[in-house]
């Protein structure tokens, strides 16, 4: 831990602060060089991770058997036609050259051209992101709205029937496969009650409400297992905090258990919860791949499955790279947020 320069006159103020929750403490002057080093180290780690991930994805796809040009032209194609198409697609260049072209192209927003559709991959991905990204955000919002109150409720009633009921429900929530839950939602709310359509996406042109309406069942299906995990984390974090000295002090000062929980416990417990919320976002984006299949949504998931069956490998590698980029980026942001709320972490770098 870095030495903290304190003036004698301020010491008693900081000593008092030790008993106050993290978020309400007086701010120490930020140690800018240390924060800069922490940021630089994390940024370097982010760049290295992205570059290595891109090598792995590119060279793993490279060893895939089958030549895209031969696949596109069929078994009766003449060798010179295949060679011409290979040249047109840039497949006749060396692996390293193609990797560099692919990677530098991606940095500039150019993901290459789809072998099957002959359209820019970036455009295809962007179109599908307009379904997958709002779906992930919608699911994350639902999961948070369900999980936080449930976790707080369970922690406040630890060991009582309310806690046992919430914990039982979360055990079940974790065990339910989300695609099966999606089918049950379709059976009840689309086929029997006819409140929602069983699949498809009306598009944002139909208006935001209609579009959100068609994403509601998929978002609920995606949110359920995440909400179960998040509620358990929220409860566990709150119970950890409730055992801390500053909560005992608050109780000794006359606050009730509930007041101590709301005023001091909650804000401190949110730190691990925010981390999990951040991590869940990237998993929701990837998890949507299966849910999109259930609801026939034209998102990234369907794009990647169509691309696999058509051996449109440039689309597969671009979508996979995008998902991995999302995970690495979210981890990076979570690390930075952690450092902002918990100054002790900056020293670890």
Partner 1 sequence: MTRSLFLGGILSALVLLAALLSFIWTPYDHTALNIPAKLQAPNAEHWLGTDHFGRDILSMIMVGARTSIAVALVAVGIGMGLGVPLGLAAAAKRGSWLDEGIMRANDLVFAFPSLVIAILITAILGAGAINAIIAIGIFNIPVFARVTRGAALSLWQREFILAARVAGKGSARISAEHILPNVANLLIVQGTIQFSLGILAEAGLSYVGLGAQPPVPSWGRMLADAQTMVSLAPHMALVPGCAIILTVLGLNLMGDGLRDWLDPKLQGGRA
- Residues that bind partner 1 in the complex, under the rule CB under 8 A: 48-49, 52-53, 56-57, 60-61, 63-65, 167, 170-172, 174-177, 179-180, 183-184, 186-187, 191, 232, 235-236, 239-240, 282-283, 286-287, 289-290, 293-294, 304-305, 308, 313, 316, 320, 323-324, 327-328, 331
Nearest approach, Cβ of residue 237 and partner 1 (Å): 9
User: In terms of CB distance, is 64 or 126 closer to partner 1?
Assistant: 64
Cβ 208 to partner 1 shortest distance, Å:
28
Q: Maximum CA pair distance of the chain?
A: 87
For residues 96 and 175, which CB has a smaller minimum distance to partner 1 in the complex?
175
Taking CA atoms, 281 is separated from 105, 132, 256, 278, 327, in Å, by 26, 11, 35, 5, 8
Sign of CA dihedral 8, 10, 16, 20: negative
Put residue 254 in one of left, alpha, beta given phi > 0 → left and psi -120 to 50 → alpha.
left
Per-residue HEC secondary structure of 174-198 comes to HHCCHHHHHHHHHHHHHHHCCCCCC
- Closest distance to partner 1 from the beta carbon of 35 (Å): 22
Least distance from C-beta 56 to partner 1, angstroms?
A: 7
- For residue 137, give every residue at least 6 positions away whose Cβ sits within 8 Å of its Cβ, in sequence order, or none: 281
Whichever of 50 and 343 has its CB closer to partner 1, that residue is 50
Residue (101 or 293) nearer to partner 1, CB: 293
Q: Which residues contact 217 (CB under 8 A, 6 or more apart)?
A: 182, 185, 186, 189, 190, 196, 295
Torsion of CA 318, 321, 326, 329, to 10 degrees: -130
In the bound state with partner 1, the residue whose beta carbon lies nearer, of 4 and 48, is: 48
Indicate the residue among 32 and 175 with the shorter CB distance to partner 1: 175
Minimum gap (Å) between residue 45 Cβ and partner 1: 8
Q: How far is the CB of 295 from partner 1 (least distance, A)?
A: 11
Contact 268, 287 (CB under 8 A): no
Least spacing, CB of residue 49 vs partner 1, in Å? 6
Phi-psi region of 6 (alpha: psi -120 to 50; beta: other; left: phi over 0): beta
Q: Which residue carries 């570059």 as its tokens?
A: 51
- Which of residues 19 and 153 has its CB atom nearest to partner 1 in the complex? 153
């Amino acid at each position: 831990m870095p030495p903290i320069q304190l003036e004698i006159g301020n010491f008693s103020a900081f000593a008092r602060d030790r008993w106050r929750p993290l978020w309400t403490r007086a701010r120490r002057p930020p140690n800018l060089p240390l924060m800069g080093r922490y940021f630089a180290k994390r940024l370097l780690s982010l760049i290295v991770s992205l570059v290595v991930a891109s090598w792995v994805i590119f060279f793993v796809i490279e060893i895939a058997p089958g030549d895209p040009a031969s696949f596109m032209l069929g078994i009766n194609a003449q060798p010179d036609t295949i060679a011409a198409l290979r040249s047109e697609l840039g497949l006749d260049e060396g692996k390293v050259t193609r990797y560099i072209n692919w990677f530098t192209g991606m940095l500039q927003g150019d993901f290459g051209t789809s072998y099957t559709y002959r359209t820019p991959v970036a455009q295809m991905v962007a179109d599908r992101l307009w379904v997958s990204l709002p779906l992930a955000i919608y699911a994350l919002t639902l999961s948070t709205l369900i999980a936080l109150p449930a976790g707080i409720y369970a922690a406040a009633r630890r060991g009582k029937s309310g806690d046992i009921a919430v914990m039982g429900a979360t055990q079940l929530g974790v065990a339910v496969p989300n695609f099966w839950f999606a089918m049950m939602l379709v059976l009840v709310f689309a086929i029997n009650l006819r409140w929602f359509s069983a699949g498809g996406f009306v598009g944002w042109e139909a208006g935001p409400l209609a579009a959100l309406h068609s994403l509601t069942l998929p978002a609920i299906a995606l949110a359920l297992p995440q909400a179960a995990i998040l509620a358990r984390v929220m409860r566990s974090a709150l119970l950890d905090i409730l055992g801390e000295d500053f909560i005992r002090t608050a109780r000794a000062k006359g606050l009730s258990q509930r007041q101590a929980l709301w005023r001091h416990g909650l804000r401190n417990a949110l730190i691990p919860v925010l981390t999990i919320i951040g991590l869940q976002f990237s998993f929701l984006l990837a998890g949507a791949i299966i849910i999109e299949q259930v609801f026939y949504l034209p998102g990234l998931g369907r794009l990647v499955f169509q691309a696999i069956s058509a051996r449109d490998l440039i689309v597969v590698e671009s979508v996979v790279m995008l998902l991995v980029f999302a995970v690495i980026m979210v981890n990076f942001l979570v690390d930075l947020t952690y450092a902002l709320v918990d100054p002790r972490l900056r020293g670890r770098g």
